[in-house]
Structure 1
Amino acid sequence: MREQTIFEIIHNMDKVTNNLIIQWNKIFYEDLGVSHILVLAHLITNGKSRPSDIAKTLGLTPPTLTHLSEKLVQKDLANRVVDSTDRRIVYLDITDKGIEMTKRANIEGQKLRRSLFEKLTDEERHQLLHIYKKLSNPS
Protein backbone atom coordinates (compact mmCIF):
# COMPACT_ATOMS: atom_id res chain seq x y z
CA MET A 1 0.00 0.00 0.00
CA ARG A 2 1.32 3.42 -0.90
CA GLU A 3 2.37 5.63 2.01
CA GLN A 4 0.19 8.44 0.59
CA THR A 5 -2.90 6.21 0.73
CA ILE A 6 -2.26 5.31 4.39
CA PHE A 7 -1.81 9.01 5.17
CA GLU A 8 -5.11 9.82 3.42
CA ILE A 9 -6.95 7.11 5.38
CA ILE A 10 -5.56 8.34 8.70
CA HIS A 11 -6.23 11.96 7.81
CA ASN A 12 -9.84 11.25 6.85
CA MET A 13 -10.42 9.11 9.95
CA ASP A 14 -9.19 12.03 12.05
CA LYS A 15 -11.47 14.43 10.17
CA VAL A 16 -14.50 12.22 10.84
CA THR A 17 -13.58 11.92 14.53
CA ASN A 18 -13.00 15.66 14.88
CA ASN A 19 -16.27 16.41 13.11
CA LEU A 20 -18.12 14.07 15.49
CA ILE A 21 -16.58 15.85 18.49
CA ILE A 22 -17.54 19.27 17.09
CA GLN A 23 -21.10 18.08 16.40
CA TRP A 24 -21.28 16.51 19.87
CA ASN A 25 -20.31 19.80 21.49
CA LYS A 26 -23.01 21.59 19.49
CA ILE A 27 -25.84 19.26 20.51
CA PHE A 28 -24.89 18.41 24.09
CA TYR A 29 -25.25 21.62 26.08
CA GLU A 30 -23.93 20.40 29.42
CA ASP A 31 -20.44 21.93 29.43
CA LEU A 32 -19.03 18.41 29.38
CA GLY A 33 -16.72 16.79 26.88
CA VAL A 34 -16.64 13.26 25.59
CA SER A 35 -13.92 12.41 28.13
CA HIS A 36 -16.23 13.32 31.01
CA ILE A 37 -18.88 10.99 29.64
CA LEU A 38 -16.31 8.22 29.18
CA VAL A 39 -15.38 8.52 32.87
CA LEU A 40 -19.05 8.33 33.87
CA ALA A 41 -19.58 5.34 31.57
CA HIS A 42 -16.58 3.62 33.18
CA LEU A 43 -18.15 4.16 36.61
CA ILE A 44 -21.48 2.72 35.44
CA THR A 45 -19.75 -0.35 34.04
CA ASN A 46 -17.18 -0.91 36.79
CA GLY A 47 -18.69 0.71 39.86
CA LYS A 48 -16.70 2.97 42.16
CA SER A 49 -13.08 3.01 41.04
CA ARG A 50 -9.74 4.46 42.00
CA PRO A 51 -8.88 7.39 39.75
CA SER A 52 -5.56 5.78 38.79
CA ASP A 53 -7.43 2.69 37.54
CA ILE A 54 -9.86 4.82 35.53
CA ALA A 55 -6.96 6.75 33.99
CA LYS A 56 -5.18 3.55 33.01
CA THR A 57 -8.30 1.96 31.51
CA LEU A 58 -9.22 5.06 29.48
CA GLY A 59 -5.64 5.86 28.44
CA LEU A 60 -5.59 9.18 30.29
CA THR A 61 -2.88 10.71 32.44
CA PRO A 62 -3.58 10.96 36.18
CA PRO A 63 -3.56 14.81 36.06
CA THR A 64 -6.11 14.73 33.23
CA LEU A 65 -8.33 12.42 35.22
CA THR A 66 -8.00 14.68 38.26
CA HIS A 67 -9.17 17.63 36.16
CA LEU A 68 -12.11 15.65 34.73
CA SER A 69 -13.05 14.35 38.18
CA GLU A 70 -13.10 17.85 39.66
CA LYS A 71 -15.70 18.95 37.15
CA LEU A 72 -17.80 15.80 37.61
CA VAL A 73 -17.81 16.25 41.38
CA GLN A 74 -18.53 19.98 41.06
CA LYS A 75 -21.56 19.21 38.84
CA ASP A 76 -22.74 16.49 41.28
CA LEU A 77 -22.34 13.81 38.60
CA ALA A 78 -19.80 11.88 40.66
CA ASN A 79 -18.51 11.95 44.20
CA ARG A 80 -15.40 10.93 46.05
CA VAL A 81 -15.69 8.05 48.49
CA VAL A 82 -13.02 7.32 51.09
CA ASP A 83 -12.21 3.65 51.66
CA SER A 84 -13.58 2.55 55.03
CA THR A 85 -10.52 0.41 55.84
CA ASP A 86 -7.80 2.70 54.48
CA ARG A 87 -8.56 6.42 54.47
CA ARG A 88 -5.66 7.05 52.08
CA ILE A 89 -7.62 5.34 49.29
CA VAL A 90 -10.20 7.50 47.57
CA TYR A 91 -12.64 6.21 44.97
CA LEU A 92 -14.71 8.03 42.40
CA ASP A 93 -18.35 6.94 42.25
CA ILE A 94 -21.23 8.00 40.03
CA THR A 95 -24.34 9.73 41.35
CA ASP A 96 -27.92 9.25 40.17
CA LYS A 97 -27.57 12.56 38.33
CA GLY A 98 -24.44 11.18 36.64
CA ILE A 99 -26.29 8.06 35.54
CA GLU A 100 -29.05 10.17 34.00
CA MET A 101 -26.48 12.41 32.27
CA THR A 102 -24.76 9.36 30.80
CA LYS A 103 -28.07 7.99 29.51
CA ARG A 104 -28.83 11.34 27.82
CA ALA A 105 -25.32 11.46 26.36
CA ASN A 106 -25.72 7.95 24.94
CA ILE A 107 -29.04 8.86 23.32
CA GLU A 108 -27.55 11.99 21.75
CA GLY A 109 -24.46 10.06 20.63
CA GLN A 110 -26.63 7.43 18.97
CA LYS A 111 -28.57 10.12 17.10
CA LEU A 112 -25.31 11.73 15.98
CA ARG A 113 -23.81 8.46 14.72
CA ARG A 114 -27.08 7.47 13.04
CA SER A 115 -27.14 10.74 11.11
CA LEU A 116 -23.51 10.18 10.10
CA PHE A 117 -24.05 6.64 8.82
CA GLU A 118 -27.34 7.44 7.08
CA LYS A 119 -25.22 9.16 4.43
CA LEU A 120 -23.95 5.74 3.37
CA THR A 121 -25.72 3.21 1.19
CA ASP A 122 -26.56 -0.21 2.63
CA GLU A 123 -23.63 -1.71 0.74
CA GLU A 124 -21.24 0.97 2.05
CA ARG A 125 -22.42 0.32 5.62
CA HIS A 126 -21.81 -3.43 5.16
CA GLN A 127 -18.35 -2.72 3.74
CA LEU A 128 -17.54 -0.38 6.63
CA LEU A 129 -18.74 -2.93 9.16
CA HIS A 130 -16.54 -5.58 7.52
CA ILE A 131 -13.55 -3.21 7.62
CA TYR A 132 -14.09 -2.28 11.28
CA LYS A 133 -14.41 -5.96 12.25
CA LYS A 134 -11.21 -6.73 10.38
CA LEU A 135 -9.32 -3.83 11.96
CA SER A 136 -10.56 -4.67 15.48
CA ASN A 137 -9.43 -8.31 15.22
CA PRO A 138 -6.05 -8.47 17.02
CA SER A 139 -4.65 -11.31 14.88
Structure 2
Amino acid sequence: MKEQTIFELIHSMDQVTNNLIIQWNKMFKESLGISHILVLSHLKRSGKSRPSDIAGALGLTPPSLTHLSEKLVQKKLAVRLIDDDDRRIIYLAITDKGNSMINKAHKEGKALRRNLFEKLTEEERQHLLGIYEKLNSYIKE
Protein backbone atom coordinates (compact mmCIF):
# COMPACT_ATOMS: atom_id res chain seq x y z
CA MET A 1 0.00 0.00 0.00
CA LYS A 2 1.33 3.42 -0.88
CA GLU A 3 2.34 5.74 1.95
CA GLN A 4 -0.04 8.41 0.62
CA THR A 5 -2.98 6.00 0.79
CA ILE A 6 -2.17 5.05 4.40
CA PHE A 7 -1.94 8.74 5.30
CA GLU A 8 -5.31 9.39 3.65
CA LEU A 9 -6.89 6.48 5.58
CA ILE A 10 -5.51 7.70 8.90
CA HIS A 11 -6.56 11.26 8.14
CA SER A 12 -10.10 10.18 7.17
CA MET A 13 -10.46 8.02 10.29
CA ASP A 14 -9.30 10.93 12.46
CA GLN A 15 -11.73 13.30 10.74
CA VAL A 16 -14.68 10.97 11.36
CA THR A 17 -13.69 10.57 15.02
CA ASN A 18 -13.15 14.30 15.52
CA ASN A 19 -16.42 15.19 13.81
CA LEU A 20 -18.32 12.66 15.93
CA ILE A 21 -16.82 14.17 19.10
CA ILE A 22 -17.75 17.67 17.93
CA GLN A 23 -21.31 16.58 17.14
CA TRP A 24 -21.59 14.74 20.46
CA ASN A 25 -20.38 17.82 22.37
CA LYS A 26 -23.00 19.93 20.59
CA MET A 27 -25.88 17.58 21.41
CA PHE A 28 -24.82 16.62 24.96
CA LYS A 29 -25.99 19.61 27.00
CA GLU A 30 -24.44 18.67 30.35
CA SER A 31 -21.33 20.91 30.31
CA LEU A 32 -19.12 17.83 30.31
CA GLY A 33 -16.63 16.82 27.67
CA ILE A 34 -15.83 13.39 26.33
CA SER A 35 -12.88 13.10 28.74
CA HIS A 36 -15.21 13.45 31.73
CA ILE A 37 -17.39 10.68 30.33
CA LEU A 38 -14.33 8.48 29.73
CA VAL A 39 -13.33 8.89 33.39
CA LEU A 40 -16.85 8.06 34.56
CA SER A 41 -16.95 5.04 32.23
CA HIS A 42 -13.66 3.80 33.67
CA LEU A 43 -15.05 4.14 37.20
CA LYS A 44 -18.24 2.33 36.25
CA ARG A 45 -16.25 -0.53 34.71
CA SER A 46 -13.43 -0.78 37.24
CA GLY A 47 -14.99 0.46 40.46
CA LYS A 48 -13.21 2.86 42.78
CA SER A 49 -9.77 3.68 41.45
CA ARG A 50 -6.73 5.70 42.33
CA PRO A 51 -6.40 8.78 40.12
CA SER A 52 -2.95 7.70 38.93
CA ASP A 53 -4.40 4.37 37.76
CA ILE A 54 -7.23 6.13 35.91
CA ALA A 55 -4.76 8.51 34.24
CA GLY A 56 -2.59 5.59 33.13
CA ALA A 57 -5.51 3.57 31.81
CA LEU A 58 -6.91 6.49 29.79
CA GLY A 59 -3.59 7.96 28.64
CA LEU A 60 -4.11 11.20 30.55
CA THR A 61 -1.60 13.20 32.53
CA PRO A 62 -2.11 13.33 36.31
CA PRO A 63 -2.77 17.12 36.22
CA SER A 64 -5.44 16.59 33.53
CA LEU A 65 -7.09 13.91 35.61
CA THR A 66 -7.01 16.17 38.68
CA HIS A 67 -8.82 18.87 36.71
CA LEU A 68 -11.38 16.40 35.31
CA SER A 69 -12.04 14.75 38.65
CA GLU A 70 -12.52 18.10 40.37
CA LYS A 71 -15.41 18.92 38.05
CA LEU A 72 -16.89 15.42 38.45
CA VAL A 73 -16.80 15.77 42.24
CA GLN A 74 -18.27 19.30 42.13
CA LYS A 75 -21.15 18.01 39.97
CA LYS A 76 -21.63 15.07 42.38
CA LEU A 77 -20.96 12.58 39.59
CA ALA A 78 -18.02 11.12 41.52
CA VAL A 79 -16.74 11.16 45.09
CA ARG A 80 -13.31 10.96 46.67
CA LEU A 81 -12.82 8.14 49.14
CA ILE A 82 -9.95 7.74 51.61
CA ASP A 83 -8.40 4.30 52.05
CA ASP A 84 -9.22 2.86 55.49
CA ASP A 85 -5.75 1.36 55.96
CA ASP A 86 -3.64 4.17 54.50
CA ARG A 87 -5.18 7.63 54.70
CA ARG A 88 -2.66 8.94 52.15
CA ILE A 89 -4.39 6.91 49.42
CA ILE A 90 -7.39 8.56 47.81
CA TYR A 91 -9.78 6.86 45.42
CA LEU A 92 -12.31 8.23 43.01
CA ALA A 93 -15.67 6.43 42.78
CA ILE A 94 -18.74 6.98 40.62
CA THR A 95 -22.03 8.02 42.23
CA ASP A 96 -25.58 7.06 41.23
CA LYS A 97 -25.85 10.44 39.54
CA GLY A 98 -22.63 9.62 37.65
CA ASN A 99 -24.09 6.29 36.54
CA SER A 100 -27.17 8.08 35.23
CA MET A 101 -24.94 10.53 33.35
CA ILE A 102 -23.02 7.65 31.75
CA ASN A 103 -26.26 6.04 30.63
CA LYS A 104 -27.43 9.33 29.11
CA ALA A 105 -24.09 9.93 27.37
CA HIS A 106 -24.03 6.40 25.94
CA LYS A 107 -27.62 6.69 24.76
CA GLU A 108 -26.95 9.97 22.96
CA GLY A 109 -23.66 8.69 21.53
CA LYS A 110 -25.37 5.58 20.24
CA ALA A 111 -28.07 7.68 18.56
CA LEU A 112 -25.40 9.85 16.94
CA ARG A 113 -23.52 6.83 15.57
CA ARG A 114 -26.75 5.14 14.44
CA ASN A 115 -27.70 8.27 12.53
CA LEU A 116 -24.29 8.30 10.86
CA PHE A 117 -24.22 4.60 9.95
CA GLU A 118 -27.79 4.72 8.61
CA LYS A 119 -26.39 6.91 5.82
CA LEU A 120 -24.56 3.81 4.52
CA THR A 121 -26.20 1.01 2.56
CA GLU A 122 -26.53 -2.41 4.19
CA GLU A 123 -23.73 -3.67 1.95
CA GLU A 124 -21.46 -0.78 2.98
CA ARG A 125 -22.21 -1.42 6.67
CA GLN A 126 -21.37 -5.12 6.30
CA HIS A 127 -18.14 -4.27 4.47
CA LEU A 128 -17.16 -1.71 7.14
CA LEU A 129 -17.98 -4.20 9.90
CA GLY A 130 -15.69 -6.76 8.29
CA ILE A 131 -12.89 -4.21 8.04
CA TYR A 132 -13.24 -3.17 11.70
CA GLU A 133 -13.33 -6.80 12.86
CA LYS A 134 -10.17 -7.53 10.88
CA LEU A 135 -8.36 -4.45 12.25
CA ASN A 136 -9.43 -5.32 15.82
CA SER A 137 -8.05 -8.84 15.42
CA TYR A 138 -4.64 -7.37 14.54
CA ILE A 139 -4.72 -4.92 17.44
CA LYS A 140 -5.47 -7.67 19.97
CA GLU A 141 -2.48 -9.76 18.88
User: Normalising to structure 1: TM-score of the pair?
Assistant: 0.97
Shift of residue 59, structure 1, vs aligned partner: 1.4
What stretches of structure 2 of length at least 5 have no aligned partner? none
Match status 1:90 vs 2:103:
no
1:129 is aligned to 129
2:59 is aligned to 59
Structure 2 SS opposite 1:137: helix
Shift of residue 56, structure 1, vs aligned partner: 1.0
User: 2 CA distance for matches of 1:20 and 1:73?
Assistant: 27
Q: Which runs of 4+ in 1 moved over 4 A?
A: none
Structure 2 SS opposite 1:29: coil
Report Cα offsets for 1:49-68 as digits up to 9, x if no partner.
00111111111111111111
1:44 is aligned to 44
User: Normalising to structure 2: TM-score of the pair?
Assistant: 0.95
RMSD of aligned C-alpha atoms? 0.8
User: 2 CA distance for matches of 1:134 and 1:58?
Assistant: 24
Report Cα offsets for 1:61-104 as digits up to 9, x if no partner.
11111111011011110010000110000000011110110010
1:21 is aligned to 21
User: 2 CA distance for matches of 1:129 and 1:55?
Assistant: 30
Shift of residue 137, structure 1, vs aligned partner: 1.2
Of all paired residues, the percent bearing the same amino acid is 70
